Structure 1
Amino acid sequence: MSDFVNNFWSVYVAGITVVGIIACLVLLIITARKKVVADGDNTTGHVWDEDLRELNNPMPRWWVWMFVITVVFGLLYLLAYPGLGSYAGKMQWSQVGAYQAEVEKANAELEPLYARFTAMSSEDMSKDSQAMAVGERLFMNNCAQCHGSDARGSKGFPNLTDGDWLHGGAPANIKQTITEGRVAMMPPQAEVVGTPDDVRNLAHYVMSLSGSPHDSLKAALGKSKFTACAACHGTDAKGNTMLGAPNLTDDIWLHGWGEQAIVDIITHGKLNEMPAQNKKLTPAQIDVLTAYVWGLSNSKPGATN
């Protein structure tokens, strides 16, 4: 119960729980002590549907004990397990802990499988059918949500099959990206570039670099404004893998292409994040996943040795 923003809600939940249990006991005691004066025929005097009469019999003893046992079980459960606000319980059980225990158990069972791949390079694993089958499942479970089941990505999510890598496509670079994640930021540049017309002219120059449809006159006017971009993308506009700055000459557009798309990026900037996977995957799993991702653009996945 660590998601409470302050102690009030922890006390609030614990209070409602305890009051609910006490109310059940009070109800049981009051009901057990209440005496109804019965008529001579042992009925309460209540009549329904003309001839249905309520007998004045006590509650069955087995029902009473089941009720008491249920309340006692509830109290013992709350003592052992979390249920009273932020109280963790004597057993120190949690959903996160149970999940981590299951993951550790699964990883231990799979360790012999991954042991076979530890001495193999990414290039060798990319040619091994078993390694690629494992890598494909890891990819589907951890990467496909963003990059797609075919790894071709979508707007804002890189295509992993085309050989265009923002941070480098060598196995070491891919492994670093998977392990540590990436945070890429394109800062707003409109104030540096100049007027809205200057931004638009620069957008056309950027489009001209890759041979995309553009206005040649606006591109010529925007060429001088590219100095604001050259620090990251290079004077040749071919990008910089150390900074994650994309190549602007290859006609691959991560966030969409066209005048308005580029104007929006220059004006407002762009922030992208690839989450780190080192807390979800073991080092051996990361090695296999690295080989699978590398193989998507460098070799035919699933090839046998």
Structure 2
Amino acid sequence: MSDFISGFWSHYVTFISLASIAACALLLWITNRARAPIGGDNTTGHVWDEDLREMNNPLPRWWVGLFVLTIVFALGYLVAYPGLGSMQGQLGWSTAGEYRKDMAKAEAELAPVYAKYTAMPAEQMAGDPQAMAIGERLFLNNCAQCHGSDARGSKGFPNLTDADWLHGGEPAKIQETITLGRTGVMPPMAAAVGSPEDVKNVANYVLSLSGSPHDSVRAGLGKSKFTACAACHGMTGGGNPMLGAPNLSDRVWLHGYGQDAIVSIINTGKTNQMPAQQGRLTEAQIQVLSAYVWGLSNKAQSAPR
């Protein structure tokens, strides 16, 4: 119930749960107390199909006993386990605790499987079919939601199968990225660049760096204004892995291609986040996953020998 911003729902669930149990007990009590008018033959006087008569027999004791036992069990359950709103229960059980217990058990069982890879270099691990099969499952379960099942990414999510890396494509850098995550920030630069026309000129100059279709006149005018961008991307637009600044001289466009897409980013900026996997995955799992990701863009070096 902690997902709600108000305590109302906790009280609401508690009331509904206890009221339902009380209503069952009251129904049983009323049923046992009520007596329908009967004649001398212990019937209520109701007749169906000419000869079917309703008897006034009490409820079977076994049925009443089971009903009472169900009520007692329900009350005992609510005392022992979470069920009354935000109350945790006397046994301290929770789905989160059960999940942690299952994860700890699974990690202990899998530890021997990963042990052989902890001392293995990523380049060697990337050529091990068993390690790559494990890495593929880890990737599909934890990374494919953003980068795609084929790791080729999409708009805003990097392609992991090419050689274009924002922070460097060495195994150690990939492992660092997976472990700690990344936050990439491109601030709005329109004010530093100049007028809206200046922004368009810079956009065309950026397109010219990679030989992409552009307006050469605007590109020539935008070259001098590009100095506002060079602090991160470099004077030649080659990027800076230390800052995560992309290479503008290739034809890899993470957030869209063309003048309008570049103008939009210059005007509004862009923030991207890669969530940290530390705490979600073990160190050994991250090591295997890193080798798998490295192998995606280094297939010639990682081919089994």
TM-score range, shorter chain: over 0.9
Q: CA deviation at 1:67?
A: 1.2
Q: Which residue of 1 aligns with 2:251?
A: 251
1:76 deviation in Å?
Answer: 1.1
Q: 2: CA distance between counterparts of 1:235 and 1:248?
A: 10
SS in 2 for 1:254: coil
Task: Tell whether 2:28 aligns with 1:28.
Answer: yes
2:223 maps to which residue? 223
Number of matched pairs: 305
Deviates more, 1:98-107 or 1:37-46: 37-46
The verdict on how the C-alpha distance between 1:54 and 1:223 changes in structure 2, with shifts beyond 3 A counting, is farther
Does the aligned pair in 2 maintain the 1:178–1:277 contact within 8 Å? yes
The structure-2 alpha-carbon separation of the partners of 1:112 and 1:59, relative to structure 1 and needing over 3 Å to count, comes to same
Q: In 2 relative to 1, CA 33–209 (structure 1 residues): closer, same or farther, beyond 3 Å?
A: same
Paired letter, 2:106: A
Task: Encode CA deviations 1:105-153: one digit per residue, 9 max, x unaligned.
Answer: 1111111111111111111111112111111111111111111111111
Range 47-56 or range 255-264, more displaced: 47-56
Preserved CA contact (<8 Å) 1:132 1:302: no
Q: In the alignment, what sits opposite 1:181? A: 181
1:188–1:267 Cα contact (<8 Å) kept: yes
- 1:304 CA displacement: 3.2
Once the two structures are superposed, what CA deviation does each residue of 1:161-218 show, in whole Å capped at 9, x if it has no partner?
Answer: 1111101111111111101111111111222222222222211111111111011111
Residues 1:101 and 2:101 are matched in the alignment: yes
Following superposition of structure 1 onto structure 2, how do residues 231-242 of structure 1 map, counting pairs within 5 Å?
Answer: 231-242=231-242
User: Residue 83 of structure 1 corresponds to which residue in structure 2?
Assistant: 83
Cross-structure match for 2:147:
147
Distance of 1:82 and 1:187 partners within structure 2 = 47
Contact 1:232 1:245 (8 Å CA) reproduced: yes
Does structure 2 conserve the Cα–Cα contact (< 8 Å) formed by 1:193 and 1:225? yes
How much does 1:8 deviate? 2.8
Equivalent in the alignment of 1:293: 293
Whether 1:72 aligns to 2:87 is no
Residue identity matched to 1:290: S
| SS, match of residue 266 in structure 1 | helix
Distance across 2 between alignment mates of 1:270 and 1:5 = 31
Q: Which moved more, 1:32-41 or 1:206-215?
A: 32-41
CA distance in 1, matches of 2:7, 2:143: 37
Write the distance in 2 (CA, Å) between the matches of 1:149 and 1:133: 14
Q: State whether structure 2 residue 118 is matched by structure 1 residue 118.
A: yes
Which residue identity is paired with 2:282?
Answer: T
Rounded to whole Å, the distance in 2 between the matches of 1:44 and 1:279 is 70
Contact 1:146/1:157 (8 A) holds in 2: yes
Partner of 2:266: 266
How far did residue 234 of structure 1 move? 1.5
Unpaired stretches in structure 2, ≥5 consecutive residues:
none
In structure 1, how many angstroms separate the alpha carbons of the residues matched to 2:300 and 2:103? 31
SS of the residue aligned with 2:69? helix
Instruction: Name 1:54's counterpart in structure 2.
Output: 54
Q: Deviations over 1:237-277 (max 9, x none)?
A: 11111111100001100111011111111111111111111
Distance between the aligned counterparts of 1:171 and 1:105, measured in 2?
29
User: Against the structure 1 CA distance between its residues 52 and 214, is the aligned structure 2 distance closer, same or farther, given a 3 Å change threshold?
Assistant: farther
Q: Provide the C-alpha distance between the structure 2 equivalents of 1:84 and 1:178, rounded to a whole number of angstroms.
A: 40
Distance 1:234 1:76 in 2: 69
Would you identify which runs of 4 or more consecutive aligned residues in structure 1 move more than 6 Å? none
Equivalent pair of 2:124/2:302 in contact (CA under 8 Å) = no
Q: Name the SS of the counterpart of 1:273 in structure 2.
A: strand
1:12 positional shift: 2.1
- Measure, in 2, the Cα distance between the counterparts of 1:181 and 1:90: 38
Unaligned runs of 5+ in 1: none
Give the CA RMSD over aligned residues. Answer: 1.7
Task: Report deviation, 1:40.
Answer: 3.2
| 1:156 shift after superposition | 0.9
More moved, 243-252 vs 7-16: 7-16
SS of equivalent residue, structure 2 residue 185: strand
Residues 211/48 of structure 1: CA separation in 2 closer, same or farther (3 Å cut): farther
135 and 302 in structure 1: CA distance in 2 versus 1, 3 angstrom threshold = farther
SS in 1 for 2:248: coil
